[in-house]
Structure 1
């Protein structure tokens, strides 16, 4: 194999750095200190500045989309005179709006700025979520759910793209998984908040479920106003960094990927994402996870209540499975980052969730053995959330070109949430308490995810090997990055 320099020293004037994607390259020190900037300390600074703020937005997003499950137990369907199937249609409309506006939202993000677009999205869905609390009829419920999906659509893919402009490729997996862990945390908070807010029934002449939407929606609106001040744009203009730190961030990103390139918006780059089979595979990986992910988050309170527990108890009993899922998501992300492997961990987590659904399906007398079925929800939640966190980081790690990466992240969520559209129709009231159809479909999708993840693993590994051979025989790969078609680019597996 052609000899490749093991390491290049930082030169802040030329802004070059060790390239982790080169074959046979040795990883840099964990604690580089160049021109007075300590790399490890700088990463901590970035994490504390970026991740808590973004995670709060996503926690609110997931809370505002899934609190309908808590509101259902507090009389939503009764007050609006909805049948069980009409309630499910409302859930479906959310994901239709979500899928339609995914890619357009990320295109707007690319053409504007994170500091403007992300808080504006949050403000918009906060207003919509609040309006859910004053909905008076079925038509209003359908309308609000659709626009809630439309306004929330851009947050997750937008943040995945945004983080790719701050961190090196191998650093993004852990940060995106930490960000995604806010989803399971929202489930735990949702149970606590619903239990407490439901006690406000009859306050102001409103039932408890209305207060769930109103208070949580108002909270989102307030946070969105502060978000205009605490969300920053990109490293080259970040005021919380010193000039030396800004140069250092730019230097460490320059040789790693195209994050520092001055790339204008181009429809050709949009088409490049649409024509890349790997981008569709990343979407399929999330598609096979979105059905179990959203059926669990939207129906877990109902599943637990159907085991014979009262509504108030069911609200609180959703907390432990989500707490385990949050811890598992962070632990698996850390392990994946440490060993620089995605697919094996994702497959193992999907298998864990699959075991949870086997317990739910084959416990034939859940009303007699509710604790056994409840244990199955722990395995399902822990496996689903941790595997999904890994799948969602793939485009940010593996897609080169800023516009292409923004579109690929949005594509993944759009393709993925088509699974959620179908999933919202699977847990019908007359199927309680075993929910055989819903649990069976979730199990089948998890099995499919294991297969899809294995295929992605092999496709990316083969492409990496092919590029190693080309570099060995022909050399090349100098100068500016040419996206993920560059011979130096190595795909994260």
Structure 2
């Protein structure tokens, strides 16, 4: 089609204008994508969103539901039926994250060497089987094995999806989509409380206690969706069947000078090493590390925390819904604001500060005021979830080189979930009902998150300033075709 070269010409113009390129987070001004093929950018983005985000969000919702429903199951007699004593229940939470941490980077390497259409549904099918089997565990040892392999099979989903979305959207567009995807985590908490409340009435059906039906029914739901997922998960723009050829060319053009998404990059271990040697990748990881402890302690222990405020088990299941509902709304609102301003660090600092207020309320409220303490859980959730969404999307926007970005994303989750491993041991029965140990650690970690975010913010601003100096000295970004090769390119401006 004669109009397609016109797209390339407009991209090249953006490449030649280095001053314009460096002054914007997106390397090519949006005005350069003016409908030369009869394609309107906004409707095309909406098309991508509707095709890509709902399936991925459903996958993550079920993933988070299958990992966190153990907190709901505990209220329905899990620990008593499996004769757990002391802190053995906490061990079942910890072992999940050990499996998760060990296999995140290998899973993203497999994703890079296979395809999302094959790998992501296969992961889901695997964890659906394990999640269902948890419902028929007869002793602690069997349940521990199941929890470990649940962590192994779920480990590749989130880092895989973050990398996957970075191959479809411009760097300034990824956070909003990742935040919408991550909002499924808070929705999983809300739905989990509702489901657990209803499934609790199945106690005795088939001779099984209610907690077993929580795992069995939610695991079977995952299996059904996994089979369907093979048909609605797509690969990359070059092969997606729902795109026309002009749409493929347009997507390729708009990504060309913004990121490495259009590059043909073979997997190389040197790119993995490049991520390991980049100090910023470690700071991204520590950013999630400081968020994962409060994130997972809240999602795993919220039913128990609320029940300790003198509510019944059934009431506690239902009362988990409002904090998660508020968190989901805040996650989307903050994502929109961050997307429009192209800022990350200020919103992380603001949201983490809101969560800090929540934990201060929880720590300072006496048992005689359960309503006030409950408000503290809402503040905590409303701050933790949107802040975590930004932390997780940051490396996807700021690391270039496909294998390096896939590795950096997995590093972020791996380093981060080491915080979750620690967090699973903090809400010990002996510290009930005030939970000073767990709440204090969560508060301290959120304060460390403010510090880490401030350091990373300053470092990224410093590196951007150095790139502007290199441009002023005559350095030109991109390769011969104008494509950004890596994040050291002067045209690759870090999002702050």
Q: Deviations over 1:238-263 (max 9, x none)?
A: 11011110111111111111101000
How far apart in 2 are the matches of 1:149 and 1:10?
48
- Aligned-residue CA RMSD in angstroms? 1.5
Match of 1:433 in 2: 433
Match of 1:6 in 2: none
Change (3 A) 1:400 1:377: same
**Which of 485, 488, 493 lines up with 1:490 in the alignment?**
493
How far apart in 2 are the matches of 1:153 and 1:30?
39
Matches within 5 A, 1:39-118: 39-118=41-120
SS of the residue corresponding to residue 174 of structure 1 reads helix
How big is the shift at 1:31? 8.3
Match of 1:5 in 2: none
Match of 2:276 in 1: 274
Conservation of the 8 A alpha-carbon contact between 1:10 and 1:34? no
How far apart in 2 are the matches of 1:29 and 1:182?
33
How far apart in 1 are the matches of 2:257 and 2:468?
18
**Which of 460, 481, 484 lines up with 1:481 in the alignment?**
484
How far apart in 2 are the matches of 1:307 and 1:10?
66
Conservation of the 8 A alpha-carbon contact between 2:107 and 2:156? yes
Conservation of the 8 A alpha-carbon contact between 2:121 and 2:230? yes
SS of the residue corresponding to residue 30 of structure 2 reads coil
Conservation of the 8 A alpha-carbon contact between 1:10 and 1:16? no
Match of 1:150 in 2: 152
Conservation of the 8 A alpha-carbon contact between 1:170 and 1:340? yes
Conservation of the 8 A alpha-carbon contact between 1:84 and 1:429? yes
Q: Deviations over 1:257-291 (max 9, x none)?
A: 11010001100001111111000000000000000
How far apart in 1 are the matches of 2:49 and 2:186?
20
How far apart in 1 are the matches of 2:322 and 2:31?
39
User: Is 2:319 the partner of 1:305?
Assistant: no
Conservation of the 8 A alpha-carbon contact between 1:31 and 1:40? no
Conservation of the 8 A alpha-carbon contact between 2:296 and 2:423? yes
SS of the residue corresponding to residue 7 of structure 2 reads coil
Q: Deviations over 1:93-151 (max 9, x none)?
A: 00000000000000000000000000000000000000000000010011000000000
**Which of 316, 330, 333 lines up with 2:332 in the alignment?**
330
Structure 1 residue ranges without an equivalent (≥5)? 1-8
Conservation of the 8 A alpha-carbon contact between 1:301 and 1:318? yes
Conservation of the 8 A alpha-carbon contact between 2:167 and 2:236? yes
How big is the shift at 1:24? 3.3
How far apart in 2 are the matches of 1:116 and 1:478?
33
How far apart in 1 are the matches of 2:66 and 2:404?
29
Change (3 A) 1:143 1:15: farther
How big is the shift at 1:158? 0.1
**Which of 252, 258, 261 lines up with 1:259 in the alignment?**
261
Matches within 5 A, 1:368-379: 368-379=368-379
Match of 1:12 in 2: 7
Q: Deviations over 1:437-467 (max 9, x none)?
A: 0000000000000000010000000000110
Matches within 5 A, 1:333-412: 333-363=335-365, 365-366=366-367, 368-412=368-412
Conservation of the 8 A alpha-carbon contact between 2:478 and 2:489? no
Change (3 A) 1:272 1:31: closer
Match of 1:451 in 2: 451
Q: Deviations over 1:40-60 (max 9, x none)?
A: 110000000000000000000
Match of 2:465 in 1: 465
How big is the shift at 1:23? 2.2
Conservation of the 8 A alpha-carbon contact between 2:7 and 2:33? no
How far apart in 1 are the matches of 2:9 and 2:229?
35
Conservation of the 8 A alpha-carbon contact between 2:348 and 2:390? yes
How big is the shift at 1:28? 1.7
User: Is 2:216 the partner of 1:214?
Assistant: yes
How far apart in 1 are the matches of 2:441 and 2:370?
21
SS of the residue corresponding to residue 34 of structure 1 reads coil
Match of 1:205 in 2: 207
How far apart in 2 are the matches of 1:76 and 1:268?
47
Instruction: Name which of structure 1's ranges 226-235 and 33-42 shifts more when overlaid on structure 2.
Output: 33-42
Match of 1:22 in 2: 21
Q: Deviations over 1:183-237 (max 9, x none)?
A: 0000000000000011101000000000000000000000000000000000001
How far apart in 1 are the matches of 2:36 and 2:476?
29
How big is the shift at 1:345? 0.5
Match of 2:295 in 1: 293
Conservation of the 8 A alpha-carbon contact between 2:476 and 2:490? yes
